[in-house]
Every structure is written in C-alpha cells, then in structure tokens.
Chains A and B, each alone.
Chain A
Amino acid sequence: MRIQKLMLAVLATAIVLSTSAFAATSSGTLTVTGTVESSISLTIESAGGTTSGTGTAAATSALGSISKYGSAPTGFTLARGASNWTLSSTVGVKVDKANLTSTDYTLTAQLGSAPASGVTWKLNGSTLSDSAATTLTSTGTYGSTGSYSWDIVVADSAAAAAIDNAIDFTATSN
C-alpha cells in the first residue's frame, strides 16, 4: 500500500509540473494617469440667412443684398416703418457642460465691430454694441438650444453699403 501511494504522489507531481509551463505569465503593467477638467462648450445651432458652420462655435450667415422694398432673406421677415425697416429672425445657441456641477449659465453677446451708420443690431430686443457685452440670459439651461430674437434695423438714411459684422457670444457657468 505504501509503495502504491508513493507512485500516485510522484505521478501527480509530474503532471502538475508538466502542465504549469503553458499557463499565462504576468509580463508588465501600463499605468494610465491624467486630470479631468471641467468645461463648457457653445455652438450656434441655427440662424436666419444662408448659414454655414451651424453646430459649431463659428457659424456664418449670409443675407445677400437687402433693401426696404426687396424680398426678405431666407429665414427672415421684413417690416417697413415710416423711416426705417427691420429684418427679423432668430439665433439658436446651445451650451453644453462636462464634468461640471454648475446648474445653469449666463449668456452674453457683443458686436465684433462698430455697426454701420444707421444700422442697429438687436438680440432679444436689446441693442448690441461693440464696446460692452449685453446679457441675453442668466439662467441658461445646459444641453438645450436657446432661441433669441434677432433684429437688424436699417434707417432709411443709411448709406447703401455692406453691413457685415460679427456677434460674439460668451457663456459663463454660474
């Protein structure tokens, strides 16, 4: 009996040794580190006129040739007053947040340059200037596109000339 038990023990040991060589072996570690920063992003989702770049932070809108007694550009309505005329549309702005506990944001707008003489730019009924930002909302909802009325008021006395300008939007988390 003793001899038989010894034979079984030796055979079992040999089998264990012969199979252990095919087991996977640990061969190194790749450590990944970094720092996640809070951020917010603003995109122009829509605007009157012929647009390009919507859905990004830099969009353009081309109104083409505009006049008091002509047709309104696409996406605009035209209203004629006694001494001026107004093109009206909307601008859609969305602000997203990531890794941030803020619940809402403040959105402002400012003209990129002084408007042409006799031309007034308005957002949400407020006149825009190039010298100071105008607050559009202080309770903006993240992830939702805010729609802001956009008016370009042209005096009848304004010269026939280009009215090119830029509207700079700034979102700040509250």
Chain B
Amino acid sequence: MLLLFAFSGALAQNRHRATENDYSVAVTFNEGRGFSTPDGDASLDIGEVSQAASVPGGRGGLSKPSYTILRQFRVQITRRGGGRGQVSLSAYLQRECLNCKLRLDGIELSSAPRVILADVPLNAITNHRLEIEISKQAPPGALDAAIEWEVSGK
C-alpha cells in the first residue's frame, strides 16, 4: 500500500514539469527573406550569393579560401501555455551543409548540440548572428542546411 502511494505521488509531480515540445523558439530576421511559423519552425533564404558580391571591390578579401555571408536575427523562447522561468538553448545541424560551414554567434555547428544560450529567461528577446562560410572550391549550386533548436528547462 505504501509503495502504491509513493508511485502515484511521483506521477503527480511529473504532470507539472515540461513535457516534450513544451517550448517554442520564435526566430525573426533583421534582413533577407525569412519567416517563422507559430510551431517554431523558421526558414531563411539567403538568395544568390557569390564571392564577388560578398567582398565588393576587393578590399583584401579575395585571396582567402572562403567567404562568409552574415545574417542577424532575434530569438524568443516561450513556453506553450505561458509562464516564466529560465532555460538554456542549444543548436545542432539536423541537415549538414555539404559545401559550407554554419556558425551561430561564432560557434561552429555540427551534428552534436552546442550551447548557444546557457541561461536565459523565457520570453526574453535575444540577438544572434548566423555566419554561412562558403568555400571557394565548392561547385556552384543549391545551398541547403537545417538547424535544430533544443531548449532545456533550468
């Protein structure tokens, strides 16, 4: 009898904790063709890019083995159903870019999650930088990658 009460007590505590997909990450872009949906998925199209356009007029950048496209954006993490609290935000590549490297706030992304925000209050808006580094040796063509967000409650 005692064990049964203890078991049901533990279940009751779990109902008040975050369940899977309880958080939403809203992404807003400062420029370019990007949008986000209420379910937390976002899309950014950087359009046609080239080294000549990214380093206009030369200015010493043409001799480097790669060039970088920069986009600024804002993130807001909310809990479905509202509420406050502290969370951490990590990111990893769900789909790798074959001929480019992606960096968030200077952190190079890979298939392993990397912490982007170690401790941030829910509902706060934070500013971030996405760098897309393209190798000059890469063939021309489509660029396609996907970044997955992970939010952990504190």
Contacts and interface: CB of A to CB of B under 8 A. Distances in A.
A33 B46 contact: yes
Nearest to A44: B58
Contacts of A18: 10, 13-14
B117 interface: no
A31 B153 contact: no
Interface in B1-39: 3-4, 6-7, 10-11, 13-14, 17-25, 27, 39
Q: Which of B21, B102, B132, B140 has the most CB of A within 10 A?
A: B140
A98 interface: yes
B112 interface: no
Contacts of A28: 24-25, 27, 39-42, 148-149
Contacts, number: 181
Contacts of B41: 28-31
Name the interface size band of chain B: 35 or more
Contacts of A40: 52
Interface stretch (A9-17, A111-119, A153-161): A9-17
10 contacts: A18-B14, A21-B19, A24-B152, A28-B42, A34-B143, A35-B143, A37-B49, A41-B62, A94-B62, A99-B51
Interface of B: 3-4, 6-7, 10-11, 13-14, 17-25, 27, 39-53, 55, 57-60, 62-63, 67, 69, 77, 90, 94, 97, 99, 102, 113, 130, 132, 134, 136-153
